[in-house]
Amino acid sequence: MSSGHEAAFWADEEVKLLQPGRPHVVRDSKTPSGPVPISGLRGPIISDALFRTFKANALDVRFVYTIDDYDPMDSQSMKERAGMAAHMGKPLCMIPSPDPSVGTDFADYHATRFIALFAGLGITPEFHRMRDLYRSGALDKQIDLVLRNAETIRAIHKRVANVDHPEGWLPVAVICENCGRIGTTLATDYDGTTVAYECKPDYVEWAKGCGHKGRLAPFKGNAKLLWNEQWCAQWDHFGVTYEEGGKDLLTAGGSRERSNEIYREVWKRDPPPGLQHEFFTFGGKKMASSKGIGAEAVEIVAIYPPEVVRFLMLRTHPKRHLEFDPAGMTLPRLMDEYDRAADAYRGDEESDLGKTWRLSQVSPTPDAPGFRIRFTTVASWLQIPSIKPEAEAEKEKGARLTDAELRDLHRRVELARAWLERWAPDEAKFEVLERTPDVELTPEQRRYLSAIRALIGTVHDAGEMQNQLYEAAKQVGLLDAKGNPSQDAFAAIYLAFLGKPNGPRAGWLLLSIDPELVRRRLDELGRAP
């Protein structure tokens, strides 16, 4: 418990918001209107971390995740795609799937792709689809309540958000019986059983209604509540007591505030509390799913180990914005920090960083972290063909790796491979040059390169090679002020083969290159120019 860290960890702070001795429900949701950027995982991972923390604090809690697949297609970026224009305004679950082998319809396709990531990340909520809730009539009671209080709700929209809906407006969207659109209909005149509606051509900018007028019962899936009212209906239906969210929704005068007011006035209940999380930025700019490398959640999760994805989301307080650009040194930094968190956990499980490490694990009850190799070291190893990571790691540990450690190593190897290929800056990469580079060498350096030629093909152990290189430098007289071999000696090797003055340990490097090439190169550069 008390460990000297009295400043409360953010997740522990949230525990105080929940009343003990009664059931609790944490909720999160996603509208499956397209590919989800990596930033879309921040909410689910935060919610899951809180869910775990609540449970760990002996609260009776469920985690509910809803898929808002009855919402209308209104995404501008989608409208420009081939074949999509005709579907604008239809419920997401009534639009054809881009790939039927993945999902049965548009919503199912995108939801499936996204949700498929959850289990691997250790996120295990109950999933509910809005289409099922509506069609089964599970929300009919709430729909009726909303319709009977339409005037009150209209006033709240006006007061809280300054949104003026026409008189007689009802906060439901009927699915047009003629064209199937749900985003274009205006409903009026609830008589306790049915509503009148009109599918208006110019009701919204992003879709064109067909002009049909009709009357039907807005239950059993014939209609859906508008966003704010649907939110309340879900809180009511599931008994939600905690819900965090992005700041796009939780801003003053924003959507959540409208829903909160409606819940208070119409349902006569307090809305659930919840953190407002900040967004990701990508290179200082807002992350866009459509463009930008590595921005899609599916892609990052395929490459990053799950605990690293969780750690990325949890190490920064939810209320702070998170800069994430997979390119460059982002990943090595993240991995170093992750390792530090593991050390913190070993030192004190209840330290903030220790807690963050634990919440980052896929299992809520993880084993203690074991021996691991620093990420940048693994990345270097990969670029020296003669190094076998497993053997090298065992040498470094001084003992056999456990199964878990071996798995961790392999994951790091895969991650480093992807990083080198896609994101690493040039400084982190080296490559043996096929052709002799045009480099400046001193006469001593040239003598040195000539001197080590004899080692090639005769010394086969990398460690021994390293020693011999060292000795050769002494013999040639490449010494620094203290009589030790100077940096110039090794720089000559790096320049000769990599074209830059530094690189991986020279003994290992030389042995990993074809001996013929090494001899030729040494001959060529060993001569006076």
Partner RNA sequence: GGGCCAGUAGCUCAGCGGUAGAGCAGGAGACUCUUAAUCUCUUGGUCGUGGGUUCGAAUCCCUCCUGGCUCACCA
Judged by CB under 7 A, the residue of 185, 234, 361, 466 near RNA is: 466
Q: Round to whole Å and give the CA distance between 124 and 64.
A: 9
Specify the DSSP element, H or E, that contains 359: helix 352-360
Handedness of CA 161, 164, 170, 172 (dihedral sign): negative
Tokens describing residue 232: 């309340």
Q: 139-168 mask for RNA (x: CB under 7 A)?
A: ----------------------xxx-x---
Q: How far is the CB of 58 from RNA (least distance, A)?
A: 26
Residue 28 has phi, psi (to 5 degrees) of -145, 165
Would you list the DSSP string of 473-511?
HHHHT-B-TTSSBPHHHHHHHHHHHHSSS--S-HHHHHH
The footprint of RNA on residues 321-350 (CB under 7 A) is 321, 323, 333, 336, 340
Instruction: Please report where in the chains the tokens 């407006």 appear, as a residue.
Output: 169
Tokens of 154: 């209209």
Is 485 among the residues that bind RNA (CB under 7 A)? yes
The maximal CA–CA distance of the chain, rounded, in angstroms, is 102
Q: In whole angstroms, how large is the CA radius of gyration of the chain?
A: 31
Q: Which of 98, 214, 254, 370 binds RNA (CB under 7 A)?
A: 254
Decide: is 438 part of the binding site for RNA (CB under 7 A).
Answer: no
**Contacting RNA (CB under 7 A), which of 135, 212, 237, 317?**
317
- Environment class of 461 (CB within 10 Å of its CB; exposed 0-12, middle 13-18, buried 19+): exposed
Q: Which of 255, 289, 436, 450 binds RNA (CB under 7 A)?
A: 255
Question: Of 79-87, 243-251, 264-272, 516-524, which segment contacts RNA by CB under 7 A?
Answer: 243-251
Amino acid, single-letter form, for residue 92: L
Q: Rule CB under 7 A: is residue 366 a binding residue for RNA?
A: no
In whole angstroms, the minimum distance from the beta carbon of 249 to RNA comes to 5
Q: Does 7 engage in binding with RNA (CB under 7 A)? A: yes
Candidates 430, 446, 472, 496; binder of RNA (CB under 7 A) is: 430
Q: How far is the CB of 247 from RNA (least distance, A)?
A: 5
Q: Smaller CB distance to RNA: residue 29 or 47?
A: 29
Q: What is the residue-wise DSSP string for 411-434? A: HHHHHHHHHHHHT--GGG-----S
- Provide the binding-site residues for RNA, judged by CB under 7 A: 6-7, 31, 33, 68, 71-72, 74, 161-163, 165, 173, 183, 204-205, 226-228, 230, 247-249, 251-255, 276, 278-279, 281, 284-286, 316-317, 319-321, 323, 333, 336, 340, 352, 374, 376-377, 380, 427-430, 463, 466-467, 470, 482, 485, 487, 489-490, 500, 502-507
